[in-house]
Structure 1
Amino acid sequence: MHRLNPDKLLLSKWTAVKPQNRERHFMVTTLLRDDADRITGCVLQAVISGNDYPIDWRELKNNGVWLQGWK
């Protein structure tokens, strides 16, 4: 498991361990917050296609799914 600081997620880069639709490299483009201003999720944008995928930011901690940086 990665240790992540949610406040430093914006514009961070990620690599999918098992790419789908040739989308392997992603960047966090938006942080999603609740009413108490806590980060609840983020939007990953695929580099190759520009598609956006909203996810729970805690999913990025899973080494079996995500690697930090572009590998």
Structure 2
Amino acid sequence: MNPIQANKLLLSKWTAVQVVAKQKHFLVSKVYLPVPQEGQVARHTVIEFVELEAVYTKTKRKIAWKELADTTQWKQGWL
């Protein structure tokens, strides 16, 4: 698998290794950026969390974006 690029996560496709309640295929529907504190200047864009939307049920869940790199839980693309 290619390394995950944070700037290309939005609308990327993912397959869960363990299917739960017919939820297997997901899209990254939202990317959460950290809120800069007062007086801080953001040097570069860092993603904290992503929102995954199940294709079948449209349910959403928020996870740390680095969890997608765990190949025991997620596969990139729809398999």
Output the TM-score relative to the length of structure 1: 0.93
Matching of residues 3-18 of structure 1 within 5 Å: 3-18=3-18
In structure 2, the gaps of 5 or more residues are 37-44
- The structure where strand makes up a greater share of residues is 1
* Letter of the 1:9 counterpart: L
- SS of equivalent to 1:58: helix
1:39 to 35, 42, 47: 47
Calculate percent identity across the aligned residue pairs.
37
The runs of 4+ residues in structure 1 deviating greater than 3 Å are none
**C-alpha deviation, 1:35, in angstroms:** 2.1
Name the larger-Rg structure. Answer: 2
Matched letter for residue 64 of structure 1: T
> C-alpha offsets along residues 1-41 of structure 1, whole Å, 9 cap, x if unaligned?
75111110000000000011110000000000102452101
CA distance 1:57–1:66, change in 2 (3 Å): same
The one-letter amino acid paired with 1:27 is L
Which residue of 2 is the match for residue 65 of structure 1?
A: 73
SS state of the match for residue 3, structure 1? coil
Q: What is the CA RMSD across the aligned residues, in angstroms?
A: 1.4
Distance 1:59 1:19 in 2: 16
